Amino acid sequence: MTVVTQTDELRAAVAGHGLPRVLVPTMGALHAGHLALVHRARELAGPAGTVVVSIFVNPIQFDRETDLAAYPRPLEADLTACREAGVDVVFAPDVAAMYDADRSVTVTESLLSRGLCGAARPGHFDGVCTVVLKLFLLSGCETAVFGDKDFQQLAVIRRMVRDLNVPVTLIGHPTVREADGLALSSRNVRLNAAQRADAPRLRQALVAARTAFHAGSRTPSELLETARAGIAASALARLDYLALVDAESLQTVARLERPALLATAVFYGEVRLIDHIRLDP
């Protein structure tokens, strides 16, 4: 496995490996969810292709300095996990390698990023689009694998790829969960014991709403209230948002006639967790 930290080193490293090139962009603190993406990338690349994993805590997608400062960075453990998973190239740059001090170009998506996490985190998706496009260009990848847990992120990147004619195929991978239903996240390690024990209620609240949906409820306000009640029952959880949106446009729905997503973000102290569930009429 080759580990590089500079952009020119990345270009040279991937040039020395076979095609196709499959990228897995991450911010490190790798867990089983990330490794599921890596294994999928290995399948897509095949024995002759190249799997590239980026490990970069991207500062321009953070809306809170405290969140950026607290984000875990266990690089050595991440490199070990990548090596064991059969990664060919790891790109682990510092901020100076990715952004010039006087940088003045940002990639902005203006529709899908307006609501949900975009409304709560101004500038977040500008930072996501900018870094992902840079990683696409630097790695020369034909394919990139993302987790479905960050469904809005994937939707925004799909729109960027479509609208800018970026020649990269995007592959989504189902959310990987703990046995109690909590979606795997690098932020989970920052939960204290009480918060971690309580956090599975996000999934439980969404499942309760889906159960009501399958039982015949089609009124968005009723479904939202079912999920809201499950989250509000906790003294530890602070609701950031709860929304029912069209699965493609991510716009709020008044009637459930097309596939939709029930999505939430919840704070446990300073730790912000997200989850969603799909509702198919």
Pick the CATH number of 186-276 from 3.30.1300.10, 3.40.640.10, 1.10.1370.40, 1.10.10.10: 3.30.1300.10
- pLDDT tens string for the chain (281 positions)? 999 999 999 999 999 999 999 999 999 999 999 999 999 999 999 999 999 999 999 999 998 899 899 899 999 999 999 999 999 999 999 999 999 999 999 999 999 999 999 998 889 999 999 999 999 999 999 999 999 999 999 999 999 999 999 999 999 999 999 999 999 999 999 999 999 999 999 999 999 999 999 999 989 999 999 999 999 999 999 999 999 999 999 999 998 989 999 999 999 999 999 999 999 98
The pLDDT value given to residue 63: 87
CATH 3.40.50.620 fits 2-173, yes or no: yes
Query: How far is it, in rounded angstroms, from Cα 231 to Cα 204?
Result: 9
Nearest to 27 by CA among 66, 61, 63, 65: 61
pTM of the model: 0.92
The pLDDT value given to residue 218: 87
Write the CA distances from 42 to 52, 145, 254, integer angstroms: 10, 10, 41
Strand arrangement, sheet containing 237-246: 237-246, 260-268, 271-279
Sequence spans of domains, the chain: 2-173, 186-276
Length of the chain: 281
What is the set of active-site residues?
Answer: 34
DSSP state, residue 16: T
Measure the N-to-C terminal CA separation of the chain; round to a whole number of Å. 46
